[in-house]
């Protein structure tokens, strides 16, 4: 009886924390997509592709490097302070973007937007892992995938009915309001004991930044994170052009198929938790098997005579890669709470993924131009095979384990 009451209390606590974290992260995803969904109207309003491209590139660089700084800072500063500061910085930067005319100033203020958004995920995941049991922490982190789906959809809906200037202002207002609500709700949770006030526990020992690399499976997951982000982002980016140029679909058909693929990818985290529980938490087995399956599906794209079989192979490969990515973000990173480095690890993994994906996309563009689509799919297949080899290697190498905090 007492055990059931304890389970209900833990579930209720996780529900309160999870709902706030998911809504907050969804607001950040709306902001992350504001430039993309507004770009068509901005081009008609005098912006050039080069200007938008420059603003976007610097934004992602600021976000990536912000992950390194704010990830580490998030393990030392109260999550509430980090999250609220990040939301306010992002919202006010978006408003300032509307008020400045000079390109360099627009780049600077939108870089501040990216830096502000980099202050959210690490501290949120840390707060989740420190205040909920592992099972609920995994489920909440998987729920973050809803942000990746709902955020772009909501931003796109705003862009469909409003001028880009009002889209920016509306999203900025939503972000600032979310910052106010987050501060109020988290302060209430602290008073009621729903979440711990870690500012009173500053003397708690933390795993140092360099010792973090010695944690069991850490290096394997760092490689896995960079690899999955590289492949998934490049496939998603190039798939419309691949469908049109290599398979003969029209531009509208390619866009429709792209939308369907995006929706299918959103189920990966939920599929992953089912498989993960089925094989009783054997993550190396799961990752190695999924990488090998993705390797086969990418290679099959070159041998399928029917274009729908070709598309199905690409979708199945993306689902496999998405499930591997989910083991990192929803299982491994929340489990680092016992080492006191959740936010630092989250920032490092995010940084590595963004940098690897950015560099790889330039390489893939050259590969498509020089060698064609067939070679590109073989490169994707080879990258998946490298993932299998790394997972096997990490399974046999003896690694010194870091003492739990």
Both structure tokens of 9 = 């209390």
- For residues 129 and 133, what is the distance between their CA atoms, to the nearest angstrom? 7
Mean pLDDT of the chain: 83
In this prediction, residue 198 carries a pLDDT of: 53
Tens-place pLDDT, residues 164-183: 899 999 999 999 999 999 99
For the chain, what is the largest distance between any 2 Cα atoms, rounded to a whole number of angstroms?
68
Mean pLDDT of 184-193: 90
Q: CA torsion angle for 67, 20, 89, 78 (degrees, to 10)?
A: -60
Burial class of residue 209 in the structure, from the number of CB atoms within 10 Å of its CB (0-12 exposed, 13-18 middle, 19+ buried):
middle
**Whether pLDDT at 315 is above 50:** yes
Tens-place pLDDT, residues 127-146: 998 888 887 887 788 777 76
**Whether pLDDT at 271 is above 90:** no
Number of Cβ within 10 Å of residue 374's Cβ equals 11
Instruction: Name 322's Cβ contacts closer than 8 Å, sequence gap at least 6.
Output: 228, 232, 265, 268, 269, 272
In this prediction, residue 297 carries a pLDDT of: 94
Which phi and psi angles does 202 have, rounded to 5°? -65, -20
Task: Record the pTM.
Answer: 0.79
CB 230 within 8 A of CB 360: yes
144-153, 282-291, 340-349, 382-391, range with the lowest pLDDT = 144-153
pLDDT-based confidence at residue 200 (cuts at 50, 70, 90): very low
CB-facing half-sphere around the CA of 2: CA atoms within 13 A = 0
- For residues 324 and 272, what is the distance between their CA atoms, to the nearest angstrom? 8
- For residues 78 and 47, what is the distance between their CA atoms, to the nearest angstrom? 40
268 against 113, higher pLDDT: 113
**Whether pLDDT at 397 is above 50:** no
Both structure tokens of 23 = 């809504």
User: Of 356, 361, 357, 354, whose CA–CA distance to 67 is shortest?
Assistant: 354
- For residues 311 and 95, what is the distance between their CA atoms, to the nearest angstrom? 41
Instruction: Please write down the HEC assignment for all residues of the chain.
Output: CHHHHHHHHHHHHHHHHHHHHHHHHHHHHHHHCHHHHHHHHHHHCCCCHHHHHHHHHHHHHHHHHHHHHHHHHHCCCCHHHHHHHHHHHHHHHHHHHHHCCCHHHHHHHHHHHHHHHCCCHHHHHHHHHHHCCHHHHHHHHHHCHHHHHHHHHHHHHHHHHCCHHHHHHHHHHHHHHHHHHHHHHHHHHHHHCCCCCHHHHCCCCCCCCCHHHHCCCHHHHHHHHHHHHHHHHHHHHHHHHHHHHCCCCCHHHHHHHHHHHHHHHCCHHHHHHHHHHHCCCCHHHHHHHHHHHHHHHHHHCCCCCCHHHHHHHHHHHHHHHHHHHHHHHHHHCHHHHHHCCHHHHHHHHHHHHHHHHHHHHHHHHHHHHHHCHHHHHHHHHHHHHHHHHHHHHHHHCCCCCCCCC
- For residues 218 and 158, what is the distance between their CA atoms, to the nearest angstrom? 40
In this prediction, residue 5 carries a pLDDT of: 63
List, in order of start, the domains of the chain with CATH numbers. 2-201 (1.20.1250.20), 211-396 (1.20.1250.20)
CA angle 110–113–115, rounded 5-degree value:
115
Tens-place pLDDT, residues 341-385: 888 888 899 888 888 877 776 677 777 778 888 888 898 999 999
47-51, 123-127, 398-402, range with the lowest pLDDT = 398-402
In this prediction, residue 197 carries a pLDDT of: 54
| pLDDT-above-90 percentage for the chain | 25
CB 24 within 8 A of CB 83: yes
**Whether pLDDT at 205 is above 70:** no
In this prediction, residue 199 carries a pLDDT of: 45
């Amino acid at each position: 009886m007492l055990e059931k009451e304890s389970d209900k209390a833990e579930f209720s606590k996780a529900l309160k924390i999870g709902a706030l974290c998911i809504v907050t992260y969804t607001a950040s995803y709306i902001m992350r997509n504001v430039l993309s969904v507004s770009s068509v109207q901005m081009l008609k309003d005098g912006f050039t592709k080069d200007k938008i491209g420059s603003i976007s590139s610097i934004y992602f660089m600021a976000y990536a490097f912000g992950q390194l700084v704010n990830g580490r800072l998030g393990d030392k500063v109260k999550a509430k302070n980090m999250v609220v500061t990040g939301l306010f910085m992002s919202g006010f930067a978006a408003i300032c973007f509307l008020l400045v005319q000079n390109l360099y100033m627009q780049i600077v203020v939108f870089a501040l937007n990216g830096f502000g958004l980099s202050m959210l995920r690490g501290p949120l995941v840390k707060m989740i892992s420190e205040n909920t049991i592992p099972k609920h922490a995994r489920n909440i982190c998987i729920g973050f995938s809803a942000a990746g789906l709902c955020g772009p959809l909501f931003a796109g809906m705003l862009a469909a009915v409003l001028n880009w200037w009002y889209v920016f202002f509306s999203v900025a207002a939503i972000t600032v309001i979310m910052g106010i609500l987050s501060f109020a709700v988290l302060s209430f949770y602290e008073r009621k004991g729903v979440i711990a006030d870690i500012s009173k526990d500053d003397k708690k020992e933390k795993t140092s930044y360099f010792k973090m690399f010695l944690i069991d499976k850490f290096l394997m997951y760092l490689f896995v994170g960079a690899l999955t982000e590289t492949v998934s982002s490049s496939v998603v980016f190039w798939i419309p052009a691949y469908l049109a140029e290599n398979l003969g679909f029209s531009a509208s058909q390619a866009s429709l198929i792209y939308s369907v693929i995006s929706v299918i990818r959103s189920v990966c985290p939920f599929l992953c938790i089912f498989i993960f529980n089925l094989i009783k938490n054997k993550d190396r087995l799961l990752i190695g098997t999924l990488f090998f399956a993705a390797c086969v599906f990418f290679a099959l794209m070159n041998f399928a005579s029917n274009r729908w079989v070709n598309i199905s192979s690409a979708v199945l490969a993306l689902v496999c890669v998405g499930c591997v990515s989910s083991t990192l973000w929803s299982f491994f990173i929340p489990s680092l709470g016992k080492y006191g480095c959740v936010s630092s690890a989250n920032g490092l993994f995010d940084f590595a993924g963004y940098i690897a994906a950015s560099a790889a996309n330039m390489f893939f563009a050259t590969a498509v131009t020089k060698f064609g689509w067939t070679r590109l799919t073989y490169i994707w297949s080879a990258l998946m095979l490298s993932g299998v080899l790394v997972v096997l290697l990490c399974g046999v190498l003896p690694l010194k384990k870091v003492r739990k905090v």
